[in-house]
Amino acid sequence: MRRRNFIRGLAATAAWPVAGRAQQPERVRRIGVLQPGARDDPENRLRLTTFQQALQGLGWTDGRNVHIETRFSAAGDAADARKNAAELAALAPDVILSVGSSGLPAVLQTTRTVPIVFVLVPDPVGSGFVHSLSQPGGNATGFMTYEYNLCGKWPELLKEIAPGVTRAAVLRDPAITTGIGQFAVIQSVAPSVGVEVIPINLSEDPAELEREVAAFAQTANGGLIMTAGVLSATHRDLIVTLAAQHKLPAVYQERNYVAAGGLISYGPNFVEQFRRAAGYVDRIIKGEKPADLPVQAPTKYELVINLKTAKALGLAVPPSVRARADEVIE
């Protein structure tokens, strides 16, 4: 009996380290997020909430087994982006989520070792962020905003919903290659639908934008085409207001412009990119390398129409356009 008790005691003692290891707290991973724009912007909140919810669905809960550090950089402020990128890199995160093409250069300049997942980047290859879409190389991969050929749909859609338009101001950011690239595609398609395009360069000065749009609107039969970029997002509400004020039919690249009162949009669901980005973050934390994860383009594009705005502009939405709409705002 004593021998049996002794053996049981040895077995229990041997089990102690195993039990101790099982009770060790789970390792907390760290994710950095660099987001341009304001912390209280509703669209930013929606996107980051979507990202966190998608992570939670994959088993990563902020405050339990992952800690998310977010930095908001002033839109278009390269110095602020560099400062925030340096702060995030200094925390030695497992991965950084970089939003947009304005902050990504700062993150890449700060670290070539911390894995980076980017979203909402229009031309990652042309901008030099990755070597190719299929084999990114380096420490960054992610999700491009859309392929450039999408931009050719905007003048076609503008002419379809507002047949009287013969001139379109294209609002672009000339400081980034994507602003120039988007305009080039629009310019190549516009003559085939009978529309002359005139670039209006965006800047941080809203008063300058107001003057440019007012000058353009002095000639009849005008419309607007909004390209993607940080400055276009910064001036979103102003642009929608100016289009209404000057009775300019406008086509946008993102739904939230139409939700804010814009006429029509055609583009990807940008919120969905944050959900998909969580999948890449999960895979990287579990050991995969950004260099081996291909850059992905959107798989679906959405057409959204604001009927109230169309009515205010005196436009009858063609049945062919309405039938293709993924969402109609009334």
Ranking 116-120, 126-130, 215-219, 248-252 by mean pLDDT, the lowest is: 126-130
Residue 8 lies in a domain: no
Cα separation, 172 vs 319, whole angstroms: 30
Q: What is the dihedral of CA 126, 131, 133, 137, to 10 degrees?
A: -150
| pLDDT at residue 16 greater than cutoff 70 | no
Residue 1 lies in a domain: no
Q: What is the pLDDT of residue 13?
A: 45
Q: What is the pLDDT of residue 177?
A: 65
**262 and 274 both lie in a single domain:** no
CA angle 207, 209, 214 (to 5 degrees): 95
**314 and 225 both lie in a single domain:** yes
Query: What is the average pLDDT value for the chain, to the nearest integer?
Result: 90
Q: How sure is the predictor about 179, in pLDDT bands with cuts at 50, 70 and 90?
A: confident
Residue 214 lies in a domain: yes
Q: What is the pLDDT of residue 149?
A: 86
Higher-pLDDT residue of 118, 123: 118
3-state secondary structure at position 143: strand
**67 and 159 both lie in a single domain:** no
Type and span of the H or E element at 73: strand 66-73
Q: What is the pLDDT of residue 148?
A: 82
Residue 21 lies in a domain: no
Ranking 16-25, 90-99, 143-152, 156-165 by mean pLDDT, the lowest is: 16-25
Residue 293 lies in a domain: yes
| pLDDT at residue 14 greater than cutoff 60 | no
| pLDDT at residue 154 greater than cutoff 90 | yes
Type and span of the H or E element at 324: helix 319-324
Q: What is the pLDDT of residue 113?
A: 95
* Burial annotation 82-96 (CB, 10 A radius, 16+ → b, else e): bebbeebbeeebbbb
- DSSP conformational letter for 148: G
**199 and 141 both lie in a single domain:** no
pLDDT in tens, 201-245: 998 899 999 999 999 999 999 999 999 887 888 899 999 999 999
CATH of the domain at 63: 3.40.50.2300
- Given the DSSP bridges, would you call strands 116-121 and 327-329 parallel, antiparallel or unpaired? unpaired
Residue 67 burial class via C-beta count within 10 angstroms: exposed 0-12, middle 13-18, buried 19 and up? middle
pLDDT in tens, 24-60: 567 899 999 999 988 888 889 999 999 999 999 999 9
**121 and 164 both lie in a single domain:** no
**187 and 43 both lie in a single domain:** no
Q: What is the pLDDT of residue 24?
A: 54
Its domain, for residue 93, covers 29-145+269-299
